[in-house]
Amino acid sequence: MFVRLKKFFTLFTLTLVMVSLTALTGRAEETAAKEDPVSGEAALAVMSAYIWRGQELTRHSVVLQPSATISYKGFSANVWANIDTRPYSAADEKHSANLTEADITVSYFRKFWLVNAGVGYIYYALAAPYSGATDPLDSQELFVSVGLDTLLSPTLTVYKEIDHYHQWYVLLGVSHTFQFNDMIGLKLAGSVSYLKSEDASMYPKFDSNALATDRKFNNFHDGTFSVSLPLTLTKHVSVTPSLTYVFPLCDDARYEMKGRGLQGTANPSDRKSSFLYGGITASFAF
């Protein structure tokens, strides 16, 4: 995995260099009165669990999730990682690496009146068994997103996996922030999703015993509801405690979320299909 990670971080570094060079060129052409369009953020989240699209990817352990983002005129590059402080493995010790996942995302977003639209690409570097296989199978996705700058900020995002798992994942989310003052706010957010598999061998439908079948998954998937308390400490520093509840939207999703969670490391009867987890995120914006 570390060989792949080296390649991924090299790709990310090159992306940052390209964005930075573009930014420097743009700045040379701007007047001194204009604001620098380059922005970035470094963040660290400490969470009680790592739940991804309804799948339980950690067990009884705290996870650390560092990330870094740089943006320029709608273009963004982000690197994100999940570090499990107590990786769970039922039998195979080679699955006990703390670094379970590292992702790179590049995207471009632009706003047209009340519409915020964008496209992007994500590379997921996965460590077994988090990839759902004995050997790690990395994943790649393309996505398209459209949001409205109106009440509840509805946003529809369509993801297409193009590497190993061959699936569509459609996510509709809403959110609203109640800003009490310049320092404290309360954010409520929710989402529902639909998942359509194109390969039964890599992303199957699961039966009522949470065991894989020879059919493809094609149904509503996971729903989420989250509450967070963004705290702006300074112009650049913020801290956000959050609490999230994840639940299946149908029986097919319930069986699948139990069947794929920590796949290959736990008895299906010992897995869950709904989760309540929380944590805190500290970020530095520039």
What are 161-187's pLDDT values in tens digits?
A: 999 889 999 999 999 999 999 999 999
pLDDT for res 129: 53
Global pTM reads 0.83
Are 27 and 265 in contact, with CB atoms under 8 Å apart? no
Residue 250 — very low, low, confident or very high, per pLDDT cuts 50/70/90? very high
Residue 103's CATH number? 2.40.160.40
pLDDT for res 262: 67
Are 260 and 201 in contact, with CB atoms under 8 Å apart? no
Q: Are strands 155-161 and 167-179 parallel, antiparallel or unpaired?
A: antiparallel
pLDDT for res 81: 97
Count of domains observed in the chain: 1
Mean pLDDT confidence for 63-71: 97
pLDDT for res 284: 97
What are 184-209's pLDDT values in tens digits?
A: 999 999 999 999 999 998 899 999 98
At 257, give phi and psi (nearest 5°). -65, -35
> What gap in Å lies between CA 148 and CA 230, rounded to an integer?
22
Give a three-class secondary structure readout of the chain.
Answer: CHHHHHHHHHHHHHHHHHHHHHHHHHHHHCCCCCCCCEEEEEEEEEECCCEECCEECCCCCCEEEEEEEEEECCEEEEEEEEEECCCCCCCCHHHCCCEEEEEEEEEEEEEECCEEEEEEEEEEEECCCCCCCCCCCCEEEEEEEEEECCCCCCEEEEEEECCCCCEEEEEEEEEEEEECCCCEEEEEEEEEEEEEECCCCCCEEECCCCCEEEEECEEEEEEEEEEECCEECCCCEEEEEEEEEEEECCHHHHHHHHHHCCCCCCCHHHCCCCEEEEEEEEEEEC
> What gap in Å lies between CA 242 and CA 186, rounded to an integer?
10
Q: What is the average pLDDT score of the chain? A: 85
pLDDT for res 130: 52
Q: Are strands 115-126 and 38-47 parallel, antiparallel or unpaired?
A: unpaired
Is it the case that residue 36 has pLDDT exceeding 70?
no
Could you tell me what percent of the chain has a pLDDT over 90? 66
The residue among 39, 18, 36 whose CA lies nearest residue 27 is 36
Is it the case that residue 217 has pLDDT exceeding 60?
yes
pLDDT for res 275: 95
Task: Name the residue range of residue 94's domain.
Answer: 2-285
Residue 227 — very low, low, confident or very high, per pLDDT cuts 50/70/90? very high
What are 84-111's pLDDT values in tens digits?
A: 998 876 554 444 568 989 999 999 999 9
Is it the case that residue 246 has pLDDT exceeding 50?
yes
